[in-house]
Structure 1
Amino acid sequence: MTQSTPAAGKDPAGTGPEASVPVPAAASGGPISHAIFRLARLHRMFAGQLLRRIGLHPGQELVMMHLWELGPQRQTDLVRLLDSDAATMTRTIQRLEQAGFVRRRPSPTDKRASLIEPTAASHALRREVEQSWSQLEDLVTAGLSADECTEALSTLERLEQNLVQAAADPTCAAER
């Protein structure tokens, strides 16, 4: 079985994208998992290109989206919201702080904690982030009908739910 992802080139016939990541024989038992891997890789690459234009790296926009939506948050709350780890979130917040998009202030209710809040500069960035996500969505869904988009979203949500359930199942964890 040889499936692949499109790359920024032409296929041998010169009519469209050429294959860049063939499915290795060892992955033949997981063609959907390999397709998800390829899709995620390309999605992150295009997201990175769009976000770099506005001074962000993939993942930073998600932190900003939550801050814009929910207001100031403790770093531990951002870790939970984004299903991240503390070290990654610390680096992300530090980079956003250095770029002037967030600032820390002491929590009024917990003297040990600080709140991460969006700055005025980040609020100016919000529209550009929204436009980048719209562009990314257009790239991902190009050529799909509204019904196909709905079906794709439903399938992706089901796949995610399957993994969430597997992660919560102690018998599944024992098999890992």
Structure 2
Amino acid sequence: MPEPTPRTPATASGGQVSYAIFELARAHRGYASALLREMGLHPGQELLLMHLLDRDGQTQSELLESVGLDHSTVSKSLRRMQDAGLLVREPAEHDRRVMVVHLTDKGRAMREPIAAMWQALEETSTRNLSAQQAESFVRTAYAIIDAINSRALPQEDSM
């Protein structure tokens, strides 16, 4: 187990890896948020745009599944993005209750700025890592993600 660092609170000493992940996520999210603000986007909107850039004309349900966020968060983001002129939502021809999301020209023009933002984020994030360390980190991160996603959920008490 790693040695506690001066930054780790004593209460988290039994969770060195988890606390480091928390700190990493907070720093990464903060920097990404600053870059997104410069582009006029809120955090999470770039993920929706990237999925639509890969496949325009998805339903809101498909986008929900792609980004793994809750319905209200995605709905609010899509509304903001529509107000900003990045996309339009239209009822599906097969079922008028289903909303299909399409990018506007302004939304499609975000491809290069978003790609540049991710490149800048990557360069800053990996500045102190060798190529081998970066590859090892990605493998380790996905191993942790898989472990968390495959965990056995605690059984709920029957009442």
Distance (whole Å) between structure 1 residues aligned to residue 95 and residue 70 of structure 2: 21
TM-score between both structures, scaled by the size of structure 1: 0.83
Letter in 2 for 1:97: Q
Q: Give me the CA root mean square deviation.
A: 1.4
Give the structure 1 partner of residue 5 of structure 2. 3
Letter in 2 for 1:25: A
1:165 pairs with 2:150: yes
Give the structure 1 partner of residue 106 of structure 2. 121
Distance (whole Å) between structure 2 residues aligned to residue 2 and residue 143 of structure 1: 21
Distance (whole Å) between structure 2 residues aligned to residue 165 and residue 97 of structure 1: 36
Q: Which has the higher contact order (CA 8 A, sep 6+)?
A: 2
Distance (whole Å) between structure 2 residues aligned to residue 85 and residue 92 of structure 1: 11
Runs of 4+ in 1 over 2 A off after TM superposition: 1-4, 172-175
**Equivalent in 42, 48, 52 of residue 57 of structure 1:** 42
Give the structure 2 partner of residue 101 of structure 1. 86
Aligned length: 154
Give the structure 2 partner of residue 82 of structure 1. 67
Structure 2 unaligned blocks of 5 or more: none
| Secondary structure, counterpart of 2:14 in structure 1 | coil
CA deviation digits over 1:146-165, x for unaligned, max 9? 11111110000100000110
Give the structure 1 partner of residue 8 of structure 2. 23
> Taking every aligned residue pair, what percent have the same amino acid on both sides?
35
Distance (whole Å) between structure 2 residues aligned to residue 82 and residue 157 of structure 1: 16
